[in-house]
Amino acid sequence: MNSYGKVAVMYGGHSAERPVSLNSGAAVLAALQSRGVDAWGFDPAERPLAALLDEGFERVFIALHGRGGEDGCLQGALTLMNLPFTGSGVLASALAMDKWRSKLVWQALGLPIPDSAVLDARTDFAAVVKQLGLPLFVKPAREGSSIGIVKVKNAAELPAAYAEAARHDSLVLAERALTGGEYTVTILGAGEQAQALPSIRIVPATEFYDYDAKYFRDDTRYLCPSGLHPEQEARMRDLALRGYQALGCRGWARIDFLLDADGNPYLLEANTAPGMTSHSLAPMAARVAGLEFADLCLRILEMSDVG
C-alpha cells in the first residue's frame, strides 16, 4: 500500500456528460487499484458528499465532467472539507468551464482566439453572420463534449441553432469557423513546472468533432505526433502553457485549438477534467511522451491539493 490513503474516484454525477464520466471514472479506478492505491468509486448522484468524511476518504480524484464536477462547485465543496483533490481549484475550474469568460481572459493577454459573439433572443442574427461569416458554430458556453453545438452553413439556420444551444445553457456563443484543423495539447503540472505534452491532431469523419465522433465512432482519426512543423508544434505548446497559466490551472488540463487556413493556431477552450476513456486524448498524448495510463493517473493523483 502507498501513502495516498483512501482515495475516492469521483464519477457519474448529474451533468449531461454523466455517461462519459462513468467510463472515465471506471478506467481511472481500475488503473489506480492496479498500482496498489486504496481507491473506491464515488458517484455524487447517488451519495452525499458528506460521506467522503464519514467514510474516511483522504483524497479525491475528480473524473466528473461538465457542470457540478468541472465548474468549480465540487472544488469549492472539497476545499471547505479540507480534502485534497486533483486538477484545478475553484476559480480556474469556473473560468475554464465558461468558454466566453475564458476567451475574455486570453484576449486581454493578447492570446489568439477565434472571433465570436454572444447570442440572446434579441440578437440581430444577420449582423452576426456579417461579423463572423459562414460557416460558423453556435454553442452553449458552459457545456462540454460538444453537447448542443451546431454548425451553421447558411444564415437561415442560425435562429434554430441558437434555440438548440439555449436548451443547454442561457449563455450562448457564435464562433467563426476556422478550417485549418483541430488540435489539442495536454498540460501536466503547475506554474513554471507545467509541461506540455505532444499535440494531437483530430480528424473526424463527421462534419465536425461532435459527441458521436468523440465517444462512439471508430472512424475518427487521432494523429500523435500530429504532423505539425517543429516550429508550429513549439508555438502551439507554448500557447497551451500560456493559456493554462492565464486561467490559473494546476495539476492537469487539456487545451483545444483550431488552426486557420494559413496554419495559425487559435485557443478554443480549456478542459480541467479531461476525459479518461478509451477514446480520450490526454492518455494518448501521455503514452507518446512515455507515460502509460496507470502512471498518468498516479502522476495526476500525486499533484492533488486543497483549494
Catalytic residue list contains 145: yes
Q: How far apart are CA 282 and CA 289, in angstroms?
A: 11
Domain shared by 266 and 296, yes or no: yes
12 is catalytic: no
Residue 215 has pLDDT above 60, yes or no: no
Is pLDDT above 70 for 141?
yes
- Check if 124 is active-site: no
Q: Which of 276, 252, 173, 263 is nearest to 226 (CA)?
A: 263
pLDDT beyond 90 at 229: yes
Q: At a CB cut-off of 8 Å and minimum separation 6, what does 244 contact?
A: 187, 194, 253, 255, 270
For the segment 270-275, the average pLDDT, to the nearest whole number, is: 95
Half-sphere exposure (Cβ direction) of 136: Cα atoms closer than 13 Å: 30
Query: 39 or 17, which is more confident?
Result: 39
Is 17 labeled as catalytic in the residue annotation? yes
CATH assignment at residue 47: 3.40.50.20
Catalytic-residue membership of 192: no
Confidence bin at 209 (pLDDT 50/70/90) = low
Identified catalytic residue from 23, 24, 88, 271: 271
Nearest Cα neighbor of 301 from 29, 21, 19 is 29
160 and 191 part of one domain: no
Q: Is residue 295 annotated as a catalytic residue, yes or no?
A: no
Q: Specify the DSSP element, H or E, that contains 211.
A: helix 211-215
Q: Per-residue DSSP letters for 92-152?
A: HHHHHH-HHHHHHHHHHTT-----EEEE-TT--HHHHHHHH-SSEEEEETT--TTTT-EEE
Q: Catalytic: 275? A: yes
Predicted structure pTM score: 0.92
Residue 66 lies in a domain: yes
Among 143, 176, 275, 280, the one annotated catalytic: 275
Taking only the tens place, the pLDDT of each residue in 32-68 is 999 999 999 999 999 999 999 999 999 999 999 988 9
Total number of domains constituting the chain: 3
